[in-house]
Structure 1
């Protein structure tokens, strides 16, 4: 280390500067900033959530205020407008902030009013992605993946510009925040970041063409009288022709609102479709456990058991009957925690027909009409621009 230009001390040339405040752009800057904000919020009467460290809560005489932090972006909501304004004033006395009123944009996500609820939209972000990649005038498609062709293997012709491929797929990952219908396609594309081929690039362009035709679609959040949790889990057994691993998918609903979803390749090869479905059930059970923990912290949990829906009878039996132990000796032990949840009454695992399985859209390409039906059931709706 050496003294910066203009601040040299001729009397002590071997001395260095003592850092009193973390500088913007350094690796330790975000952590130092969050610690300062965290300490101030605790002194102002907030308490930090143990489930989500970026969430802070304030309770006074039955009124609640929630404050969510993402780096230097903050969103605050509460049941008492006077209390919210008071806390904003205290925050402004210490930090230089701007109150932008009712959220219109937050982290690039637009909130569009729709009846008693709202639609979370990333239309501007989608337009920017299409414009940046020269696909503004492309022909739109009804689905993002073909249901008749198998996923390609890495042995095809390598794509000439892998950096461009990684940049676009990385941008598509952020888009899945409000577009769960894109999760399966983006998950498949992310598996070939290191060695993309021309066929993978053709799939990217197909996804962009689908986005072109659904620019005005977003995730709808509406008001519902019930706060029960129900989730759907599904698996596509040995869906990957490269390593023969299965793909898990789940959708978690709070009332009628979709709040969490996933499309991910499983870590191990499943010996049967029942085992693959059982692993998918374990994945959604872990997510629901986290959601329940968060709702309890916020005082919003109804204490009713969560309903998990699976379209494989064998997997539902595994969750409740320990006599199947001989058939699951090879299954990793961490997947069996779902049995404890069922035994304790936290979860109720039930069978659902394949035609009613909403998580099907996260595990495989689907025909256009069926894909559209499931997309509507996931509350991905069209809104006015």
Structure 2
């Protein structure tokens, strides 16, 4: 196998028609694109290649690559279901039949001599703890490594990621003498978003200034590190019996950027009671009203809901519709329900009206939610300690060192 790969690695496509010695050929082809590194070497993505080429002896059941997530491969029949998630040469494998899982692992080991780490406990910097009630994800070690690298292990903890109401600007302070240090820190904080939705808004704010960071931006970043110092074990808890219904919260901070006057979109999506998707992002255009900003935020949320529903189909999950979509702006909800174009909406791009289309199709059910219960607020502004703690509880975040047993 390795000799065949070596002979073909100069090409940009691998096309293998035979299995390794001792394996029965079933007449299938493996075709996979490979990427050349700048130094001329090849990223082989071995596990992904195998996932695409793995067959049963009968030659009928095989992994299908998801059309909606290129890292996801699934295989199902009348008796079992397998899902394989690949990141370069790191693989997570799960399924309904342990015998099938063992068969896939043996196949991988025969080809590439894999290292089987058993039940998932640590994957790409994410710590996984499982109990009878559910699964917790955190990045405690990753956070402590960041604090050690910036020499802040002994710093005084802060109660909030940012001071309440803080908004970063581009012209307050002097340029950092070593901007690469700031850029490296922001890059690591972006990866920390995997399990820390409580810092998503702050990281979005900091990432705007990686090209020209100032001393004030570094001070704000260190404030965020002080907050992480106080809760390094905080993570997401996924209940074992959370259900498969979706619900979403959409919010916008109108003209939230002091420099460009563009609004900030924030949303979060739950599967049952478990938070599975969230985002904080500056909108691409300036909105003329808070209703328009909220309407654009709804559009982004609906697109994410559509993608999640497609992936759920790949995983054989039945998502009930219409999906509740909560918004605290009554004017935006009126625009969704009203098919008539008028002065407040005729300047909005056509693609923003996906919210109205999906409402008419019965995919979503927009609903008014009080601002005090709008969970999207945590993704659009810096909150005070009291409101922050209340929202963290509703987002399903808890301390990994105090997982319920």
TM over 0.5: yes
Question: Counterpart of 2:238?
Answer: 221
Q: Are 2:28 and 1:40 equivalent residues in the alignment?
A: no
Q: Could you give the per-residue CA deviations for residues 92-142 of structure 1, whole angstroms, max 9, x where no partner exists? A: 222221211101111111101244111101000000000011001000001
Q: Aligned ranges for residues 108-257 of structure 1 at < 5 Å?
A: 108-257=125-274
Question: Counterpart of 1:309?
Answer: 326
Q: Once the 2 structures are TM-superposed, how far is the Cα of residue 35 of structure 1 from its aligned partner?
A: 6.5
Question: Counterpart of 2:13?
Answer: none
Q: Could you give the per-residue CA deviations for residues 52-90 of structure 1, whole angstroms, max 9, x where no partner exists? A: 111111113331011110000001001111111112112
Q: Once the 2 structures are TM-superposed, how far is the Cα of residue 361 of structure 1 from its aligned partner?
A: 0.3
Partner SS for 1:289 = helix
Looking at structure 2, the residues matched to 245 and 296 of structure 1 have their Cα atoms a distance apart, in angstroms, of 35
Q: Aligned ranges for residues 227-376 of structure 1 at < 5 Å?
A: 227-376=244-393
Q: Aligned ranges for residues 11-160 of structure 1 at < 5 Å?
A: 20-21=8-9, 26=37, 29-30=42-43, 33=46, 36-41=49-54, 45-160=62-177
TM-score by length of 1: 0.91
Q: Once the 2 structures are TM-superposed, how far is the Cα of residue 381 of structure 1 from its aligned partner?
A: 0.8
On the 8 A contact 2:47/2:90 being kept in 1, the answer is no
Partner SS for 1:147 = coil
On the 8 A contact 2:143/2:228 being kept in 1, the answer is yes
Q: How many residues align?
A: 368
Could you tell which deviates more after superposition, 282-291 or 156-165? 156-165
Q: Once the 2 structures are TM-superposed, how far is the Cα of residue 298 of structure 1 from its aligned partner?
A: 1.7
Looking at structure 1, the residues matched to 48 and 191 of structure 2 have their Cα atoms a distance apart, in angstroms, of 26
Q: Once the 2 structures are TM-superposed, how far is the Cα of residue 146 of structure 1 from its aligned partner?
A: 1.0
Partner SS for 1:327 = coil
On the 8 A contact 1:312/1:351 being kept in 2, the answer is yes
On the 8 A contact 2:237/2:274 being kept in 1, the answer is yes
On the 8 A contact 2:248/2:267 being kept in 1, the answer is yes
On the 8 A contact 2:267/2:376 being kept in 1, the answer is yes
Question: Counterpart of 2:3?
Answer: none
Looking at structure 1, the residues matched to 326 and 63 of structure 2 have their Cα atoms a distance apart, in angstroms, of 37
Question: Counterpart of 1:6?
Answer: none
Could you tell which deviates more after superposition, 48-57 or 197-206? 48-57
Structure 1 residues 148 and 283, CA gap change in structure 2 (3 angstroms): closer
Looking at structure 2, the residues matched to 174 and 347 of structure 1 have their Cα atoms a distance apart, in angstroms, of 30
Looking at structure 1, the residues matched to 172 and 106 of structure 2 have their Cα atoms a distance apart, in angstroms, of 60
- Gap regions ≥5 residues in structure 1: 1-17
Structure 1 residues 51 and 106, CA gap change in structure 2 (3 angstroms): same
Partner SS for 2:83 = strand
Q: Once the 2 structures are TM-superposed, how far is the Cα of residue 25 of structure 1 from its aligned partner?
A: 7.8
Structure 1 residues 109 and 239, CA gap change in structure 2 (3 angstroms): same
Partner SS for 2:287 = coil
Q: Once the 2 structures are TM-superposed, how far is the Cα of residue 153 of structure 1 from its aligned partner?
A: 3.0
Structure 1 residues 24 and 92, CA gap change in structure 2 (3 angstroms): farther
Q: Once the 2 structures are TM-superposed, how far is the Cα of residue 36 of structure 1 from its aligned partner?
A: 3.2
Structure 1 residues 236 and 75, CA gap change in structure 2 (3 angstroms): same
Partner SS for 1:56 = strand
Partner SS for 2:340 = helix
TM-score by length of 2: 0.86
Looking at structure 1, the residues matched to 216 and 157 of structure 2 have their Cα atoms a distance apart, in angstroms, of 19
Structure 1 residues 32 and 177, CA gap change in structure 2 (3 angstroms): closer
